[in-house]
Structure 1
Amino acid sequence: MSTFSFDGEDVTAVPGQSVGAALIAAGHRSWRTTRHAGAPRGVFCGIGICYDCLVVVNGTPNLRACLTEVRDGDEVASQEGTGRGR
């Protein structure tokens, strides 16, 4: 098992699991807001075509949660609009 931080909360993931899958398994459905309306977003397509699931991982914004593999000790944060962490 791997453990990572999401907005300050410890989340457990299985090896090879994506950030998006781990967040959904932990009960999180949204982790990004749109830049104009502030509408909540999470996994939409789940295969890396859209950009609804963007997160900030270890200070790097705009990573697709559905494609980013969890690594033990990662710090994941919700993202506002085009790249600011919350």
Structure 2
Amino acid sequence: MPELMLDGRALKVAEGTNVAAALALGGDGCGRTSVSGQRRAPLCGMGICQECRVTIDGRRRLACQTLCRDGMHVETHA
């Protein structure tokens, strides 16, 4: 069972969980804040909309296309 850090908080998820699902389980479900200040959540679930962009281990990634792994650090800049 992988344990990741989501915005500085530890979160355990089931094996095979993607980061977008972890956002829903451990936070507000959103991955970023728009330039106008609105929280944005995954929309398409397959990487087309790019609304699920988060920082994972220091690099911008799509949460819906990234599987959680033990020790991963995810930042949503909430």
* RMSD, matched Cα: 1.4
Instruction: Report the CA distance between 1:28 and its aligned residue.
Output: 2.5
Alignment-derived partner of residue 49 in structure 1: 48
Aligned twin of 1:11: 11
Aligned-pair CA distance for 1:27: 4.4
Residue 50 of structure 2 aligns to which amino acid in structure 1? Answer: Y
AA aligned opposite 2:70: D
Deviates more, 1:48-57 or 1:17-26: 17-26
AA of the residue aligned to 1:69: L
Deviation at 1:43, TM superposition (A): 1.2
State TM-score, norm by structure 2: 0.88
Structure number having the greater strand percentage = 1
Assess if the C-alpha contact under 8 Å between 1:57 and 1:74 holds in 2: yes
- The TM-score normalised by the length of structure 1 is 0.81
Aligned residues: 78
Q: Which runs of 4+ in 1 moved over 6 A?
A: none
Q: Does 1:32 align with 2:2?
A: no
Q: Which structure is higher in helix share?
A: 2
Deviation at 1:11, TM superposition (A): 1.0
Given that 1:11 and 1:23 are in contact with CA atoms closer than 8 Å, whether structure 2 keeps it comes out as no
